[in-house]
Chain A
Amino acid sequence: MTFEEIKNLLVAKFGPEVILAENLQPLMPYVLIPKEELAAICLELHDNEQTYFDFLSCQTGIDNGPEAGTLEVVYNLYSIPFEHSFCLKVQVPRNTENEPLPEIPTVSHIWRSADWHEREIFDLIGIQFSGHPDMRRILCAANWQGHPLRKDYVWPEYYHDIKVPYEKHNEDNGFKGERW
């Protein structure tokens, strides 16, 4: 199925208000959907006999930066039997320092591969996935501060008394270069 057909199928099933925006860029067109409908749409795309997206290729979290003020998650779906693909996007507002992290419903009950991908997005971008069975950090240390792939991320000065920024690390610690 083409992108247009899959989109029409979604409109027929969930109504036209489910497509918040679409981008018809030639290489990878995508639709933006509301996060409340995400789990239902994904389940429909997974179960519908015409689409049958059985494979979640990739799930990417993106921070659009403080000016845009949004975080987004991109879902690249692929159907192994039909050999077609589809791309979905969900956007949530960015949280400031003292607000709780934004939430997006999980799809890990539909594709188990989303389990680790969502943990990675939580770790690096800072989005909570509600309904996820095991929302822990996966790549960074459990007591790491902040979410490194945020555009306004600042490196901590110290981690367990180890200096983190490495510029001038040697000079700051009294190392004057090799002496032969």
Chain B
Amino acid sequence: MPEVTSKYTSYLLQAEPNLHDVNTLQSGEMLINMGPQHPSMHGVLRLETLTDGEIVKEVVPHIGYLHRCFEKHAESMAYNQSIPYVDRLDYLAAMNSEHVWCMGVEKMLGLTGQLHKRVEYIRVLVAELNRLASHFVAIGTYAIDIGAFTPFLWLLRDREHIQRLLEWVTGARMLYNYIWVGGLYYDLPVGFEEKCQEFITYLKPKLVEIQQLLIENKIFVDRTANVGVLPLDVAINYGCTGPMLRGSGLKYDLRRVDGYSVYPELEFDIPVGTGKMGTVGDCWDRTEVRALECDESVKIIEQCLKRLTTDYKRSPDFNPQEMCPKKIRPAEQELYFRGETPRGELGFYFRATGKTDIPFRSHARSGCFSNLSVLPEISRGRMIADLIAIVGSVDIVMGELDR
């Protein structure tokens, strides 16, 4: 193969060269490098920023610093063996990613709708708990980005409770491998329903507190309202999903649109951005949508707990691994399956050959990959300080972005 030549002598710049050339800048322009190692970049995102004074003229995101070859790995192991890797894509919402992966494989196997209802309700319960934890990190770190420290500590305190609950269920704090193809690893531990209900009762006033402390705070509103306005047509064209798209005012949630698992049986609303503090689709709207989604997740969890203690209550006959296939070998087919994670549409594209247990190709379409691609569009012409506010409001997890 021909040697790749580069104009740079530094290995770092050879690996990820700047798009703009320092020698051709106009008068007053400056090239500022943000990241990849900086807390406000939420992991290892690098932004090459062309500025004129305080004004951002152009932003070029450089990603790939956390590329871990998920798709290459998934081509060499069976479907069930990939679940721990799926966890590590979006490590803040591992349950949600697992849920989507397993539902996709089950759909190819023709198991959809045949699982015990208790399995489905437990899956939704843990996924929504994880969604709460993920939104807590998103809102908390966003508050830190723009200078508020207290909400971060309060939210991480409540996230700790969720992590302990999930640790009790699965044995792990963040990366669970709990949802299996065709079932679950274990049933819920004895007494979990009561403890979880206790936690929900504790959490409800805390969500109101966060709303008053952060979301409606004058300083927070001043920093985020009318900043990073994302019009709806731009959002759809760039493939934005999740709170990004709903913040721009579209009621689009795959839990309702596709109605997978037992979500059609549950009552919950889909909060959308209304432009209450500024323009529809600004950073404030996106954060507000996340905060309101926490309330909806609490509603879903309560309904799940009710069903899990009445209609589908614990019984000695219940075996969560009952439907788990001994051999996961889907017939020859291709499928794109998608689900709603806290960061938007997570989709998996599978191609099964029908001859092996290993997918010929499995591609992950991650929500924040598309969400981040709109960043140059919405931060052009804003101040540098606003750029930090905009990046934070996109809520990226580099594990999922770089895969």
Contacts and interface: CB of A to CB of B under 8 A. Distances in A.
B361 A143 contact: no
Interface residues of A, number: 40
A160 B63 CA distance: 19
A160 B6 CA distance: 13
A80 B16 CA distance: 36
B393 to A, nearest CB: 19
Contacts of B1: 97, 145-146
Interface stretch (B33-41, B186-194, B365-373): B365-373
A173 interface: no
Contact of B238 (A83, A113, A141): A113
Main secondary structure of the interface of B (DSSP, over half): mixed
A30 interface: yes
Given A60-B349, A60-B361, A112-B238, A149 B6 contact: no
Contacts of B15: 141-143, 160
Contacts of B69: 148
A112 B237 contact: yes
A80 B15 CA distance: 39
Contacts of A63: 361
A124 B108 contact: no
A25 B373 contact: no
A58 B11 CA distance: 33
Interface in B1-25: 1, 4, 6, 11, 14-17, 19
A141 B369 contact: no
Given A58-B363, A87-B336, A112-B373, A138 B252 contact: no
B340 interface: no
B336 A62 contact: no
A160 B238 contact: no
B402 interface: yes
B4 to A, nearest CB: 4
Given A56-B239, A143-B6, A116 B373 contact: yes
A27 B333 contact: yes
B236 A80 contact: yes
Contact of B72 (A57, A76, A143, A148): A148
Interface in A30-86: 30, 54-58, 60-63, 74, 76, 80, 83
A54 B236 contact: yes
B120 interface: no
9 shortest A-B CB distances, which residue pairs?
Answer: A113-B239, A141-B15, A58-B365, A139-B64, A143-B4, A60-B363, A139-B67, A60-B349, A116-B373
Given A63-B361, A80-B236, A97-B1, 16 more contacts: A28-B336, A58-B363, A62-B351, A62-B360, A76-B347, A76-B349, A87-B336, A111-B237, A111-B239, A112-B234, A113-B238, A115-B373, A141-B14, A146-B1, A160-B11, A160-B14
